[in-house]
Structure 1
Amino acid sequence: MKDYIVRATAAGSQIRAFAASTTELVETARRYHNTSPVATAALGRLLTAGGMMGSMMKNDTDVLTIQIKCDGPIQGLTVTADSKANVKGYAENPDVMLPPKNGKLDVGGALGLGILNVIKDMGLKEPYIGQTILQTGEIGDDLTYYFANSEQVPSSVGLGVLMEKDNTVRCAGGFIVQVMPFVEEQVLVRLEENISKIHSVTALLEQGHTPESLLQEVLKGMDIEITDTLPTAFACDCSKEKIEKAIVSIGERDIKEMIAEGKDIEVKCHFCNTAYTFTVEELEKLLHHAKKN
């Protein structure tokens, strides 16, 4: 089944909720970056959250970036998403290896201490930037904290990635549930009770839960209205033309140095690892453009 996100409201619109199935998305990222199991889990969780948070944005041109800068061996993560839930991302150190912690992949250990940045480019003069300190490095907890502190929206974020023995992705997904300012006390209590019973999103995914049935677990005992369903996928929009612009932007001196070496150069896209080759002749043309600019 293709990956998708459901958007829903519950308890008479006192709650808004998102849930996602992202197995193919995370497996695509794993293949592109050849990530280790713990890096796959960390990046997969952030990609899943990125898809759901991207779908919260209103306009087709809006872009969301979630960036984690940390002192752990993974060194950092970057994920970018649009309002159609197209998402891409990478880990600074995709090869990080750590022993399991309590029988699970040690994502918190891979991240260590750090900062979470959420950047929303909505076509205004300046992008919105929210920043919080990592709480646990488990990503779901960190985003829960971010929503409460940077956006003042009480939320619960649950994310999971389960690996096969051959290190491919068995299943991935998650949910984001947010309460509105006018939420009634009994609705909030019920929601907190439901969430407290969910010990592992990964376990629910392993049991075969869909985004719809994930929300039924989180919002048990409430009326739920699915308002929208949309596909989500790992999608990179890189091209040779974009890489050319990046080379031109580095300036004449650096381009001249590349030409002086007399060899083709290879430039890889951070997000999908696609390699673009430029001959000396192509570099000379780009130098001509750089001089014009």
Structure 2
Amino acid sequence: MDKLAIGIARGGNIRIYSVVSTKLTEEARVRHDLWPTSAAALGRTMAVNLMMGAMSKNDKEKVSIQINGDGPIKTIMTSSSNSGNVRGYVGEPHVMLSYHDKNKLAVGLAVGSGFLNVTKSMGLKSDFVGTVDLVSGEIAEDFAYYFNVSEQTPSAVSLGVLVETDNHVQAAGGLIIQLLPGATEEDIVATETAFGKLLPISTMINNGATARSIIEDLFEDARVLEERDVQFKCECSRQKMMNGLATLDTKELTEMIMDDEIIETVCHYCQEKYLFTPLDLQRIVDEREA
């Protein structure tokens, strides 16, 4: 099972989140038939979404991320909460771009220029929505900018996905280091020094690092407060799909019934398929007319 850890350091002036999300990223790759760069983009976004979900103290709060760029991937959508569940998809699953001089996947080119939108749904009348322009499209830099500008929390962010030549996800995960109110200049320097010495997060995970060890190795006094399991898990269901069909007008439903064919609906987030018969559609019409 993939893991997420939460810790503190520097006398409580620094908060740290880390996640190893290799298995769930591989599951997303298989579900969506993702090519390497699409897999890296979605994997990075799901990793940061899981860590942002863990920042919430409200079990009902959901954090949703939307990244829209002018690159070939077009859109990245993910959703998570502090339950440790995450789901997501990309607009174009079949993207393979790399920086040949750096031997790494070109996520920034695949995402392009655009904006990043974070929505926190807390079950209240109004949601918190934060939007910033993309800095590079590489995801980690974009979220470091988001935390600094939209949430006024100075943060260092590292995200990574290692995809093997056979396209399977070998390692995936992320790290967020945040300076809390009361952090000193020494804390800032210590954070910059520790972050600057880090290997790419996907390399660390591929070398055997765990969510716990990533935190504990950052600072001498780093302490893990909590660990939790994380997984790819969608919220879709047959009933939710049925509710979606129920939004169609009666004329359209009647025409579908007359066609006498099985209707297939597919969840964008997980590619789960749901089949509905003409009899299922007739029940919707009958309930509407009752």
Deviates more, 1:248-257 or 1:141-150: 248-257
What SS does structure 1 have at the residue aligned with 2:44?
Answer: helix
Deviates more, 1:19-28 or 1:55-64: 55-64
Report what 1:286 is aligned to. Answer: 284
Report what 2:29 is aligned to. Answer: 30
Change (3 A) 1:289 1:77: farther
Question: 2: CA distance between counterparts of 1:290 and 1:166?
Answer: 51
Report what 1:66 is aligned to. Answer: 65
Question: 2: CA distance between counterparts of 1:248 and 1:216?
Answer: 51
Residue 212 of structure 1: how far off its partner (Å) = 2.1
Residue 31 of structure 1: how far off its partner (Å) = 1.0
TM-score, normalised to structure 1's length?
A: 0.94
What CA deviation, in whole Å up to 9, does each residue of 1:155-214 have, x standing for no partner? 111111111221111111111111012101111111111112225222222222111222
Q: Is the 8 A contact 2:215 2:224 kept in 1?
A: no
Q: Percent identity?
A: 38
Report what 2:75 is aligned to. Answer: 76
What SS does structure 2 have at the residue aligned with 1:7?
Answer: strand
Deviates more, 1:26-35 or 1:279-288: 279-288
Residue 291 of structure 1: how far off its partner (Å) = 4.7
Question: 1: CA distance between counterparts of 2:111 and 2:139?
Answer: 9
Query: What is the correspondence of 1:32-51 to structure 2 with a 5 Å cutoff?
Result: 32-51=31-50
Q: Is the 8 A contact 1:252 1:291 kept in 2?
A: no
Report what 1:228 is aligned to. Answer: 226
Between Structure 1 and Structure 2, how many residues are aligned? 289
Query: What is the correspondence of 1:264-275 to structure 2 with a 5 Å cutoff?
Result: 264-275=262-273
Instruction: Indicate whether 1:241 and 2:233 are aligned.
Output: no
Change (3 A) 1:124 1:74: same
Q: Is the 8 A contact 2:262 2:278 kept in 1?
A: yes
What SS does structure 1 have at the residue aligned with 2:126?
Answer: coil
What CA deviation, in whole Å up to 9, does each residue of 1:28-83 have, x standing for no partner? 11111110011111000111111111111112211110111111101101000011
Residue 277 of structure 1: how far off its partner (Å) = 0.7
Q: CA RMSD in A?
A: 1.4
One-letter amino acid of the structure 1 residue matched with residue 86 of structure 2 = V
What SS does structure 2 have at the residue aligned with 1:57?
Answer: coil
Report what 2:196 is aligned to. Answer: 196
What SS does structure 2 have at the residue aligned with 1:167?
Answer: coil
Report what 1:110 is aligned to. Answer: 110
Report what 2:94 is aligned to. Answer: 95
Residue 249 of structure 1: how far off its partner (Å) = 1.9
Report what 1:54 is aligned to. Answer: 53
Report what 1:149 is aligned to. Answer: 149
Q: Is the 8 A contact 2:215 2:223 kept in 1?
A: no
Deviates more, 1:245-254 or 1:2-11: 245-254
Question: 2: CA distance between counterparts of 1:287 and 1:155?
Answer: 52
Residue 21 of structure 1: how far off its partner (Å) = 0.8
Q: Is the 8 A contact 2:216 2:223 kept in 1?
A: no
Report what 1:255 is aligned to. Answer: 253
Question: 2: CA distance between counterparts of 1:178 and 1:257?
Answer: 56
Name stretches of at least 5 consecutive residues in structure 2 with no aligned partner. none
Name stretches of at least 5 consecutive residues in structure 1 with no aligned partner. none
One-letter amino acid of the structure 2 residue matched with residue 258 of structure 1 = M
Report what 1:11 is aligned to. Answer: 10
